[in-house]
Amino acid sequence: MAAASFIKAPAGQNPRLAIHAPGRGARVVRCSLGAAVGGRTEWLSSCAVLSSKVAALGPHSVNGHAAPAPVPNGAVLDLIPVSGVNGAAKNLPAPLRIADLSPAPMHGSELRVAYQGVPGAYSEKAAGKAYPGCDAIPCDQFEVAFQAVELWIADRAVLPVENSLGGSIHRNYDLLLRHRLHIVGEVQLPVHHCLLALPGVRKENITRVISHPQALAQCEHTITRMGLNVVREAFDDTAGAAEYVANNGLRDTAAIASSRAAELYGMEILADGIQDDCGNVTRFVMLAREPIVPRTDRPFKTSIVFAHDKEGTSVLFKVLSAFAFRDITLTKIESRPHRHRPIRLVDDANRGTAKHFEYMFYVDFQASLAEPRAQNALAEVQEFTSFLRVLGSYPMDMTPMTAGSSSTVTSSDS
């Protein structure tokens, strides 16, 4: 006995019926319904007639399709062979699988990671250390990297937040507050600067050195000790400076960048390791659309930002005390002017009107949000502040730092 089942048709197409006949394979009925088949009763009647006759259908076909078969009431039925035991037509989209609904790959070659700069930048190296084998996506600005993740162009972003010599990268702290991405990990990368020039260029031929402002500052004393009487000029990023020299054939200009930039842009290394301090390290954070689940089986760090609208320093003291009383170590605290409320006016009849800056406070502390002491500390902080936001709770980078090496700790979702 042949079995029949309905197949829902795409919008604008006629409904179809799948007929399964023993030994005959599956066929799909495409029926042109008009006045001839006026209701569900007549449609079911037609299907029943077809089901009873399908076993008698032979292998004959026209142009690879089963020959049309007349049915009652003038309805035109067309039998189309289909593949698959479920009677799914070849031209229909495949059903979603569990893999299609799974989140982005946690680690490895399929992960798309945005970074600021061009190939050869230190940020690209940090992205590769954070997510080995990833598909690194260069972005011309920090904000573009944030937007790439928000718009699903990238799965993660790896961006610098502070340098051991140059301090905080304030732009990225402001962007962390403006966007809704979450910190899911950190990576610390030793910075190893090189002086690059076109092949055949000697040091005495150089009259100008270009690079990122922080790279120029980090190599200032070394360049002076080398006896180079050069003009320093700031560029957007280190690898971009090397690319600019190479693309324009500038034989009087050198760039401060990484050894990988020299390899990518066909430049020679005139001097290796020209940073003034061998302990020059940049800290990067890994950003994702969703936070990770905090854990207690390894050291975690939590980053928050808060603001208060009360007078005096007592509020800040109370906030810091919430961590001190619970033996929570702070690793960073920094204030930034409040962008939307930069000035606070305080009226005083005797002294006129005082003007004070409004600040946002960024704090990193060594504890996981899975720990009750961290939860209780934040609950107390919230009582004294007008604004509190957790930027992320993530594994600390515990890899020992050595000169000329890189370290990484990926997030728990890796």
pLDDT of the residue at 88: 45
Backbone angles phi, psi at 301, to 5 degrees: -125, 145
> How do residues 322-368 score in pLDDT, each as one tens digit?
999 999 999 999 988 876 554 454 555 545 455 556 788 999 999 99
Find all residues with CB under 8 Å of 109, minimum gap 6, and list them. Answer: 133, 134, 135
pTM assigned to the model: 0.68
Could you confirm whether domain 293-399 is CATH 1.10.390.10? no
Which is more confident, 36 or 46? Answer: 46
From the CB of residue 149, how many other CB atoms can be counted at a distance below 10 Å? 21
Structural contact between residues 369 and 342, judged by C-beta atoms closer than 8 angstroms: no
pLDDT of the residue at 82: 46
CATH architecture for segment(s) 107-190+280-290: 3-Layer(aba) Sandwich (3.40)
380 pLDDT higher than 60 = yes
Backbone angles phi, psi at 99, to 5 degrees: -60, -30
Give mean pLDDT, residues 84-94: 52
Label residue 132 exposed, middle or buried (CB < 10 Å: 0-12, 13-18, 19+): middle
Q: What SS3 state is found at 336?
A: strand
The whole-chain average pLDDT of the chain stands at 77
DSSP string, 190-242: E---EEEE-TT--GGG--EEEE-HHHHHHTHHHHHHTT---EEEE-S-HHHHH
Same fold, 107-190+280-290 and 193-277: yes
> How do residues 253-284 score in pLDDT, each as one tens digit?
999 999 999 999 999 999 999 998 888 899 99
Backbone angles phi, psi at 51, to 5 degrees: -60, -40
Q: For domain 193-277, give its CATH number from 3.40.190.10, 3.30.110.30, 1.10.10.10, 3.40.50.300.
A: 3.40.190.10
Spot the catalytic one: 222, 282, 385, 410: 282
Strand partners of residue 20: 3, 26
Spot the catalytic one: 142, 146, 235, 284: 284
| pLDDT grade for 411, boundaries at 50, 70 and 90 | very low
159 pLDDT higher than 80 = yes
Active site residue 284: yes
Distance CA 343, CA 65 (A): 78
pLDDT of the residue at 260: 93
Structural contact between residues 218 and 275, judged by C-beta atoms closer than 8 angstroms: yes
Backbone angles phi, psi at 410, to 5 degrees: -85, 165
Give the range with max mean pLDDT: 6-10, 182-186, 383-387.
Answer: 182-186
Nearest to 115 by CA among 239, 258, 2, 4: 239
Q: Are strands 156-163 and 167-168 parallel, antiparallel or unpaired?
A: antiparallel
What residue type is 407 in one-letter code? S
Active site residue 146: no
Please, what is the angle between helix 372-384 and helix 314-324, to 10°? 170
Domains of the chain, by residue range, sit at 107-190+280-290, 193-277, 293-399
